Amino acid sequence: MLEIRHLSKSFGRHEVLRDIDFSVRPGDVTSIIGASGSGKSTLLRCINLLETPTSGEILFHGESITGGKLNANTYRSKVGMVFQSFNLFNNMTVLQNCMVGQTKVLKKSPQEAKENAMKYLRQVGMEPYIKAKPRQISGGQKQRVAIARALAMEPEVLLFDEPTSALDPEMVGEVLSVMRDLAQNGMTMLVVTHEMAFARDVSNHVVFMADGVICEEGEPKALFADPQNQRTREFLSRFR
Ligand code: ADP
Ligand code: MG
């Protein structure tokens, strides 16, 4: 579904990503792990066109997303994003948050957008809160709404950038549980996370990054049990 080929990204003279290569097949759940500053967010931002790669390419179903042939807005609507800080519209209700992209971008009728939004809000357990504003709900609930909002656009792949890092510890579980259900239902997901249990138990592929390069990647159980790279070993030892 996605192929990242020789992707590099610099900000001025600072090379933040160097020769990144990996691919995502439909139904893959890929966790991206690594220390802060290693380039994980920049990689996701390149994949959803929030940043332009300095070199290399990203293919979506074999077509370059930067090459011009594929329409940027069409592509963006197929790649959902969930942020650490939720990024909900604070002046809108939970339901409106999950409708606005559908009516504005996908040009759905309000009726259709509402039915679809309700379906996904039900899926994440937020149906009882449809009239609430973001400030009236907890962080975990906000993140579940943000996931429903992304799902309501019916993306082919969902990108998560540390979706539980801004949450109080007692709220991490409810968000991970929604993500685990999505993974089990076959959603293609790319997840930047510090939740090593999620990376090991839920994803089918793990990518370890350090200083803008992929140091090691592989099947999660093997990578966690027996990391081959010294930097992977050092990184993982902090979580034991
Ligand atoms: P991570 O998500 O792994 O913590 P980031 O992708 O956020 O890493 O950042 C990687 C490096 O790129 C950091 O050194 C950061 O300061 C730098 N960086 C990220 N965004 C920008 C930007 N817009 N301009 C300049 N430097 C940036
Ligand atoms: Mg980051």
Q: What is the pLDDT along the chain (240 residues), one digit of tens a residue?
A: 999 999 999 999 999 999 999 999 999 999 999 999 999 999 999 999 999 999 999 999 999 987 777 788 889 889 999 999 999 999 999 999 999 999 999 999 999 999 999 999 999 999 999 999 999 999 999 999 999 999 999 999 999 999 999 999 999 999 999 999 999 999 999 999 999 999 999 999 999 999 999 999 999 999 999 999 999 999 999 987
Q: How far is the CA of 63 from the centre of ligand 1 (A)?
A: 27
**37 CA to middle of ligand 1, Å?**
6
- In this structure, what token pair is assigned to residue 153? 């656009």
Phi, psi of 154 (to 5 degrees): 50, 60
- One-letter amino acid of 153: M
Structure tokens at 138: 């907890």
Task: Decide whether any atom of ligand 1 lies within 6 Å of the 149 Cβ.
Answer: no
Ligand 2 is a single-atom ion; what residues have CB below 5 A from it?
Answer: 41
Take residue 160 and report the two structure tokens written for it.
Answer: 């998560």
- State ipTM: 0.98
Query: Cα–Cα distance between 213 and 167 in angstroms, integer?
Result: 28
For ligand 1, say whether the CB of 52 is within 6 Å of any of its atoms: no
